Amino acid sequence: MDSDGADSTLDYDVVVVGGGPSGCSAGVFTARYGLDTVVFDRGKAALRRAAYVENYLGFPAGVGIETLYDLMHDHAEEVGCEYVPDLVESVERREAEGEESGGFVVQTQEGRTVSTRYVVAASWYDGEYLRPLGGSEMFEEHSHGDEVHEHFDPDYADDDGRTPVDGLYVVAPAGERNAQAIIAAGQGAYVARCLLEDHRHEEGLPSTVDRHYDWLRPDSEFSGEWGDRERWREWFDDQFDEAEVSDERLAELRERYIDRAFETRLSDEEVEAREVRGQKRLLDHVDDDLILERARELAAEQQAEF
């Protein structure tokens, strides 16, 4: 294990199976935290059966299905996810080597074999690729006429996406929490946060600080005493019981935690620069003719003012 609790012999920290709203959302959270994340995406996507999406927050007049997919995949790659258009065929346990945790071995349709510490299941197809991990306990039977079919049981995972298989998290299928694209995206983010909570706890952080909140803070949040690293050290040390970790480990966890906190600090100038860049990146997904049409309209409005 390295200092971040990741196994250096693994290909990835996180494999996300499924590149829809829930999978991409989960990948954004794990990748932004710094976990090496890959999203495999090729299967039956429920969202692609829709004609148009009109209730995804942030799109006042709705958004086309392919445009939404392009935006999701672009976002995932922007924050560091590797996006691979391949179908996962099986996930099996990886044998542990020495003191290293086992994790998983993932096989894909196109012959890829990768190892990973965590697997996030976020695909709508039948979940057969997970059978090597839990057998029939993962599935429930459905009758269609004279035929009986097995499907992945959406209740196999708890409400936080955790499962009896250590390191396996399920975002989809998850019943009504996948019924709408925006709800599925929220579910993906929530389950990813639970994964990060478990990861941070394994690193040695106590339950009082093992939850991760992915936000950026303005300079004003670091004014006064909270702009002083020593004040953070005092607060952090108060979260631990005396015998919880060694002094050396405590110091390592403390400084890393404080480093992460201060990395979220943004000046007014940095906020403005990110706002401009964010809007420019959105333009990458707007039809060029519509951009030119709007530019002509703005030019005409400005000329009319003079």
pLDDT in tens, 196-207: 999 999 999 999
Alpha-carbon span 174 to 177, nearest angstrom: 6
Question: Which amino acid makes up residue 27?
Answer: G
Q: What is the pTM of this model?
A: 0.92
The vertex-221 CA angle with 217 and 224, nearest 5°, equals 155
Which residues lie closer than 8 Å to 279 by C-beta, 6 or more apart?
Answer: none
Q: Where are the beta strands (DSSP E) in 74-191?
A: 82-84, 88-93, 104-108, 113-122, 139-144, 147-152, 168-172
Least confident of 48-57, 88-97, 154-163, 197-206: 88-97
Mean pLDDT for all residues in the chain? 91
- Split at pLDDT 50, 70, 90, the class of 124 is confident
Distance of CA 128 to the CA centre of its chain: 22
pLDDT in tens, 156-166: 999 999 999 99
- Split at pLDDT 50, 70, 90, the class of 242 is low
**Biggest alpha carbon–alpha carbon distance for the chain:** 76
Decide if pLDDT at 6 tops 80: no
Q: Which residues of 201-219 are buried (b: 16+ CB within 10 A; e: fewer)?
A: eebbbeeeebebeeeeeee
User: How high is the pLDDT of residue 116?
Assistant: 98
Residue 134, judged by CB atoms within 10 A of its CB (0-12, 13-18, 19+), counts as middle
User: How high is the pLDDT of residue 126?
Assistant: 74
User: How high is the pLDDT of residue 5?
Assistant: 54
N-terminal to C-terminal alpha carbon distance within the chain: 67
